[in-house]
Amino acid sequence: MFSQSAKYAILAILYLTTYSNKEHKKGISEISEKINVPTPFLAKLLQGLSKKGFIHSSKGRGGGFYMCEENKNRSLLDLIEEIEGKKKLTNCVLGLNHCNPNHTCSLHNLVYEKNIEMLKNLKGKLLYEYAKDLKNGASFL
């Protein structure tokens, strides 16, 4: 359902939301190791998210990436839309350009409602709530 970039971004953002703040920044090597994502790919991805203001970064000694408190109140859907684009999340599961609610492909009715429900759920839970689940052991990365 999600691109490899989106999957990696989700892992990184959940890690940063859970384990970082302005005083406790995380280096790219640590993040890469903890979430098992290739360092060069992750570095490029996080730099892009930093430029867009989704995460923060600082260079030099004591530098690294972190989530500010304000961004911990964003939804996972915000991140996914930032990576994938809004249109990609509602595209046809078969990739057919002409599939839409008025002219459906064979799988449209099977997956469309579940997809809409998933998007609502992703919008309804904030990043800090996922972090709370991770810290409590209710979920894992």
Percent of the chain topping pLDDT 70: 100
Q: What is the radius of gyration, based on Cα positions, of the chain?
A: 17
pLDDT band at 78 (very low <50, low <70, confident <90, very high): very high
Dihedral sign from CA coordinates of 134, 113, 123, 54 = positive
Alpha helices (runs of H) in the chain, residue ranges in sequence order? 4-19, 28-35, 39-51, 76-84, 86-90, 108-124, 127-136
Residue 76, pLDDT score: 95
Average pLDDT of the segment spanning 120-141? 96
Fill in the DSSP letter of residue 57.
E
Average pLDDT of the segment spanning 104-121? 91
The CB density around residue 40, as the number of other CB atoms within 10 Å, is: 10
Tell me how far apart the terminal alpha carbons of the chain are, to the nearest angstrom.
Answer: 18
For the 4-136 domain, the top CATH level (class) is mainly alpha
Q: Phi then psi for 98, rounded to 5 degrees? A: -90, 5
pLDDT band at 90 (very low <50, low <70, confident <90, very high): confident
What's the rounded Cα separation, in Å, for the pair 124 and 55?
Answer: 20
Determine the longest span between alpha carbons in the chain, in angstroms.
57
Question: By the 8 A CB rule, do 14 and 131 touch?
Answer: yes
Please report which helix (H) or strand (E) contains residue 66, including its range.
Answer: strand 64-66
